Amino acid sequence: MALWLELASPEIFEVLAVTTVAGNAPLERTTENARRIVEAAGHADLPVHPGCPRPLRRPLTTSAGFHGESGIDGSNLPPAWLHPEETHAVEYLVEMLGQCEEPITIIATGPLTNVASAVAGSPGIVEKIAEVVLMGGSLGRGNVTPSAEFNFHTDPDAAAIVFEAGFKITMLGLDVTRQARATPSRIATIEALGNPVARAAAGMLRYSLEYVSKRGQPGPAVHDVLAPAYLARPELFRTRPAHIRVLAWGETDLGRCVELKGRSPNAEVVEHVDADGLFALLNDRYKRYKRARARNNPWHR
């Protein structure tokens, strides 16, 4: 959903490439899914670079329940017809950032393994990163452990490296993403747009709705889409500066975020979103796909 928002907003985003990482599903699946998503949006020419297949120092633990075994259950998207790029995501990031004339913004919606690997191996690229806008972390209740969010818990070492790297960070954690839930009425509004992208998004949301409704939640939180939405419509959000440290030790605290009071801020923490405004933005952008898909997607005639 985050990618579809970005690709439907060319007046705001110039998407250079997609990099994939193991997270909610293994790397092979997340890479295939990324190709399916960009092709469904009519952007088959957008490069997709597969990245790290596991966290820096720990085994991979995926999350099949919320998104299903495929990682995008409910979307009913056809298989990708093009292969991903051969260049590894980390190599691509290092080369691209080393050659770019203007600083680049990275939108990170999975574990931070690729970004941390690029920064740790080539620290000179830090000055070429304008900002990292990431979905991850929590200063309150977690969703994997009582205190840790999934992306940071999956690779806490990578998250710790990123927050210590020195570039600008905007963090959209569970504290804000849980405020934006796809209720049945919001899902129906997206589905009513009628184009293939909107139907795929609604299908994924309905799959997740069934999962979370068993746990007494009114709808699935649309976690990742808040990252590009923040860049597209910052007036929908409220932020505050903070110094965040990510814990990468201890069995019960892996991935936990701690705010260090009195320290110089190293991040902007997003703490509020206008959820109605967010879904209005999604509907406005997703309805653009009615013409774009038919015109640009080679496998859709």
Catalytic residues: 223
Q: How many CA atoms lie within 13 Å of 86's alpha carbon, on the beta-carbon side? A: 0
Q: How many whole angstroms separate alpha carbon 244 and alpha carbon 256?
A: 10
The helix/strand/coil state of 158 is helix
Cα separations in angstroms, 89 against 18, 51, 78, 124: 8, 4, 24, 17
| Start-end of H helices in the chain | 2-7, 27-40, 64-67, 89-99, 113-121, 150-154, 156-163, 174-177, 184-191, 196-213, 226-232, 275-286, 289-296
Quote the CA–CA distance of 20 and 108 in Å, as a whole number: 10
